[in-house]
């Protein structure tokens, strides 16, 4: 569950930003209540800047690196209105994210495994179908705490999956199989 993506979605939901339709990711779950304190920061410019920021988080993959980049202000390249929204909403977004991480740890403690089904099994099935070992590939699977059974491939080597779908073995495998098949060729 990448924190930068979850924080971006939290800010979108808490500020009730109306983002570009082709970027629609379901609302967070549990739902985030609109924060009236963010209203002055939810400007048209902040809304317009949110989508390119989101796209950049998906493309650059900064939040997935083990060692963060050292910068005085990691949002320095963002438009001023979006930076103001981030600054105002970040404490609540971080607290919400921390609560979801605690839920995941508790789930793993009780279930004895992460929410995702065995990805290795999907690869083995594809290898059987191909009649050979899969070509080496990397696939980043980001689980997001969003509403419903949802998934989207955002790059050749990166998929977003809802927590709910990640816990539904058959549905997750049905989504993942064609992605693995393409990467394994």
pLDDT tens digit sequence for 113-168: 766 667 889 999 999 999 999 999 999 999 999 999 999 999 999 999 999 999 89
Determine the pLDDT at residue 164.
Answer: 92
Give the integer Cα–Cα distance in Å for 41 and 12: 11
Distance CA 58, CA 140 (A): 11
* The token pair that represents 92 in the structure block: 């609540």
pLDDT at 71: 43
**Phi-psi label, residue 140: left if phi above 0, alpha if psi -120 to 50, beta otherwise:** beta
Interior/surface letters 152-184, b for 16+ CB within 10 angstroms, e for the rest: bbbeeebbbbbbbbbbeeebbbebbeebbbebb
pTM of the model: 0.89
| pLDDT per residue as tens digits for the range 76-94 | 789 999 999 999 999 999 9
Cβ pair 26, 160 in contact under 8 A:
no
Lowest mean pLDDT among 14-28, 100-114, 166-180: 100-114
Torsion, CA 82, CA 87, CA 89, CA 91, rounded to 10:
150
């Amino acid at each position: 569950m990448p924190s930068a993506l979850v924080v971006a979605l939290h800010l979108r939901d808490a500020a009730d930003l109306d983002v570009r339709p082709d970027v629609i990711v379901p609302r967070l779950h549990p739902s985030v209540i609109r924060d009236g304190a963010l209203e002055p920061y939810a400007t048209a410019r902040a809304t317009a800047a949110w989508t390119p920021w989101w796209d950049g988080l998906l493309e650059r993959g900064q939040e997935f690196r083990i060692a963060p980049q050292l910068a005085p202000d990691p949002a320095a390249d963002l438009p001023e209105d979006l930076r103001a929204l981030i600054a105002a909403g970040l404490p609540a977004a971080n607290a919400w994210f921390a609560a979801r991480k605690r839920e995941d740890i508790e789930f793993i403690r009780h279930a004895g495994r992460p929410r995702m089904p065995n990805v290795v099994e999907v690869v083995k099935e594809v290898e059987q179908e191909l009649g050979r070992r899969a070509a080496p590939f990397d696939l980043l699977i980001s689980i997001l705490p969003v509403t419903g059974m949802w998934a989207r491939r955002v790059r050749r080597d990166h998929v977003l999956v809802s927590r709910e779908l990640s816990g539904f073995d058959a549905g997750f495998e049905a989504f993942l199989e064609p992605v693995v098949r393409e990467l394994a060729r």
